[in-house]
Amino acid sequence: MVPTKDRNVQSIYIDYKGEGILVDCGEGTQRQMNIAGINRLKVKKILISHWHGDHVSGLIGLIQTMGNQETSQKLIIYGPKGTKLHMNHLLNSCIFDLSIKLEINELNIKNKTVIFENKDYMIEAAPLEHSTPCLGYSFMEKDKRRINLPKAKALGLKEGPLLGKLQRGESVKHEGKEIHPDDVSRIVSGKKSTFIMDTALTQNCYELAENSFLIVSEATYDSSLNEKANQYKHMTAEGAAMIASQAKAKKLILTHFSQRYKTLNDLKKEAKEVFPNTEMAFDFMKVKL
């Protein structure tokens, strides 16, 4: 909830084909990006889970810095109910020229919903249960067809328009012979990553996380503090592990730990008993899928 000597507050950076997507933007995010060697101008979308300060108080500085560049920038922001009002307050909280194009999408949704889609990926959001409107998000890479170049060359095909059509799933004719996509390629399944922040354990957590390769989840408490977790609508390490287990995920990363924990051993042990492939997040942690 507050920065410590060892841990900053919440922000996760997704890099996909050079495009940057932030999940939350807590205080100090752009400085952390500098240290990590991440170009802030790559950020094209920000997915806000909710409007508590530890998740959004870095927004104004990031927007101002992005606007200092000579090139025209566009930033798309998604967030829960109230996002347009909060953004308006934020932009009027200090004096600066808004020199980037801002697109603000307020998601007043009741169920898991696709909020963005292009040819490469889609983003889903689902409402969670916190003390203020809150959303979880999934980033879903689409399935792709991968060409087997040795097979293609054996049929006399070289890189060019014919291979492009085959990669798009279209059949082609070459030297009088019809070649089907499955003759020279295979489908590679896209990977899904789910981000669950600040919520009680709800059905939407399970639905959003279904079939995820990676789940990043808050784990503010261990199960001995279940009553406190319920009171403040936060997740326990055991609860996050239950989501990962039911989703048949490959990996779980826990984050957003209470300051009461001097070490994370108890949280890690509790989660691993339910879902063995659990890791604890640390600042500047990188995961390649």
Catalytic residues: 54
Q: What SS3 state is found at 33? A: helix
Q: What SS3 state is found at 28? A: coil
Number of H helices, E strands in the chain: 11, 16
Q: Which two three-digit tokens encode residue 34?
A: 């500098």
In whole angstroms, give the CA distance from residue 100 to residue 71.
9
Token pair 């909060």: residue:
86
- 191-209 CB burial, b ≥16 within 10 A, e <16: ebbbbbbbbbbbebbeebb
Contact 250, 244 (CB under 8 A): no
Q: What SS3 state is found at 18? A: coil
Residue 135's DSSP bridge partners are 127
